[in-house]
Chains A and B, each alone.
Chain A
Amino acid sequence: MSTLPYKHYQHAHCESGVTANLLRHAGINISEPMAFGIGAGLFFAHLPFVKVSGTPGTTFRTWPGAIFKRTTQRLGIDMHTQRFRTPQRANQALDEVLATGKPAGMLSSVYYLPYLPEAFRFHFNAHNLVVYGKENGQYLVSDPILEDVTKILPEDLAKARFAKGTPEPKGFMYYVKNVPQQVDFTKAVQAGIKQTCFFMLSPPLPWFGNKAIFLLAKQIKKYPQKLPPRKASLYLGNVIRMQEEIGTGGAGFRFLYAAFLQEAGEMMQRDDLQQFSAELTKIGDDWRNFAYHAARLMKDRKSDLVSYDELSDLLRVCGEKERDLFGRMQKIKW
């Protein structure tokens, strides 16, 4: 295990970013796209009946915690994970880990992180960050979405780590215990791609995977009839925020995943993966185009049927192209 000083790298997404930063510190050369792809982070779900602050839930990624767990398991890395009952015990355990020279990853609520600007602070309880030291009574924080490292007071960190709601982080903390001599990236990449294809294509329910893109397209078409203009606008805005605002690297993680396919293609010398990467980049541009037009519609607040219809069609095209892409990717002979 290295005792080198901790090095902070900025990443697009908190979970894959923390995973990459912790593993790099442990001597494994892994990028954020690699961590995201091996952890099968790409997904889509739309749940009209689950209201998050009054708007239907939409996500472009898999559930929190999955990327980190799958990536470390697929690479055979021995991790320590722990939850706590009280903030005192959590801070004490953190201090003990830091004393051994290891950085620790942990879950927190973005609402209680004073170093983030207000524009980003809401009650989201699955934000990952790394604490890599303590100085003058403050913890040194490496938050992967920030350009640089920062600091936090122990009481503020405790508040963020013991936020209430769903899910409750309960001080969840993790660090690298052991890394194997040899890490087999090829097998991990294959398993990651297979799982992503499976999750995109196989769920028999309309709310998950590729099918959910068509569900959302259908819903958007109905917004002008079903909802008052203000609400339709807020619903649409929420989709854009999930796609672009929440540290996705652009186009709802599509660019991040395309970067993974490219890197995997280079590593394994496979042209087909490179080709899939280029295709997904184009699909990502389609998603951006959808967001651009959705935002314009929102700004004008005109609820004429044609524009919502057009938006729905833009989305349907994204869904069709992705269904085709993941369908072919699923048939890859390894």
Chain B
Amino acid sequence: MKANEVPQDKRDFKEGDKIHKLMYAVDNDGKYTGITSAGWEAENIATKQAWDAVDEELAETAEKVKHGELSPIAYYMQKNLMEVSLLAKYVGKWQWQVKRHFKPSVFNSLGPALLAKYADVFNISVDELKNFGK
């Protein structure tokens, strides 16, 4: 890649335009130099697509929580880009236990200590966790 061909395609989502990454490119004499780049269209498309997929799935889960099919834990887990395995590690439970907590009936019977733990992992208050989707 030539230094004057380093793309400067702005990454205009999720504050992505705040970062200008360093790229390595060659000048006219073929010598390598570092050039900062605002982004590249190909990369932006790929990243945007990945985020769109996350947002779409999150919206689907939000609907399910509202309809009483899943508990808020499922929603906030996705919002924090976690999978069951990771969330289980953070709250110190087995994966099957976390999956059980996805059931609204089980969620409603969770004790305050465990709810506080979940809320802490999600960086929200217990009330926000309990009242989501209501």
**Which chain A positions have C-beta within 8 A of B18?**
117
Binds A, one of B68-76, B79-87, B96-104: B79-87
Q: Please tell me if the beta carbons of B49 and A33 are within 8 angstroms of each other in the complex.
A: no
Q: Please tell me if the beta carbons of B1 and A281 are within 8 angstroms of each other in the complex.
A: yes
Among B6, B22, B26, B31, chain A packs the most CB atoms within 10 A around the CB of B22
Q: Which residues from chain A sit less than 8 Å from chain B, CB to CB?
A: 10-12, 33, 53, 111, 116-123, 145-147, 164-165, 230, 233-234, 236-238, 240-241, 244-245, 247, 249-251, 255-256, 258-259, 262-263, 277-278, 281, 284-285, 288, 291-292, 294-296, 298-299
Q: Which of B25-39 contact A (CB under 8 A)?
A: 25-26, 30-32, 34, 36
Tell me if B90 counts as interface (CB < 8 A to partner A): yes
Tell me if B124 counts as interface (CB < 8 A to partner A): no
Can you report 9 A-B residue pairs in the complex whose CB atoms are below 8 A from each other? A119-B14, A145-B22, A237-B46, A244-B43, A245-B46, A255-B32, A258-B24, A295-B41, A299-B45
Partner of B81, one of A12, A123, A298: A123
A11 to B36, CA, bound (A): 10
**Which chain B positions have C-beta within 8 A of A119?**
11, 13-16, 47, 51
Q: Please tell me if the beta carbons of B32 and A298 are within 8 angstroms of each other in the complex.
A: no
Q: Please tell me if the beta carbons of B47 and A241 are within 8 angstroms of each other in the complex.
A: yes
Partner of A245, one of B24, B34, B47: B47
**Which chain B positions have C-beta within 8 A of A117?**
14-19
**Which chain A positions have C-beta within 8 A of B25?**
250, 255
Q: Name which residue of chain B comes closest to A118, CB basis.
A: B14
Q: Name which residue of chain A comes closest to B88, CB basis.
A: A164
Q: Please tell me if the beta carbons of B22 and A123 are within 8 angstroms of each other in the complex.
A: no
How far apart are A85's CB and chain B's nearest CB, in angstroms?
15
Partner of B19, one of A120, A234, A277, A299: A120
How far apart are B8's CB and chain A's nearest CB, in angstroms?
13
Interface size on B, residues (CB 8 A): 40
**Which chain A positions have C-beta within 8 A of B81?**
53, 111, 121-123
Q: Name which residue of chain A comes closest to B57, CB basis.
A: A54
Q: Please tell me if the beta carbons of A120 and B16 are within 8 angstroms of each other in the complex.
A: yes
Partner of B22, one of A164, A249, A288: A249
How far apart are A288's CB and chain B's nearest CB, in angstroms?
6
Task: From known contacts A165-B89, A291-B43, infer whether A12 and B16 are also in contact, taking CB-CB under 8 Å.
Answer: no
Among B1, B24, B47, chain A packs the most CB atoms within 10 A around the CB of B24
Tell me if B20 counts as interface (CB < 8 A to partner A): yes
Tell me if B40 counts as interface (CB < 8 A to partner A): yes
A292 to B18, CA, bound (A): 23
Q: Please tell me if the beta carbons of B19 and A146 are within 8 angstroms of each other in the complex.
A: yes
Q: Please tell me if the beta carbons of B49 and A233 are within 8 angstroms of each other in the complex.
A: yes
Q: Please tell me if the beta carbons of A258 and B83 are within 8 angstroms of each other in the complex.
A: no
A237 to B40, CA, bound (A): 13
Tell me if B134 counts as interface (CB < 8 A to partner A): no
Q: Please tell me if the beta carbons of A291 and B42 are within 8 angstroms of each other in the complex.
A: yes
Q: Name which residue of chain A comes closest to B17, CB basis.
A: A117
Chain B 48-59: CB-based contact to A (< 8 A → 1; otherwise 0): 011101000000
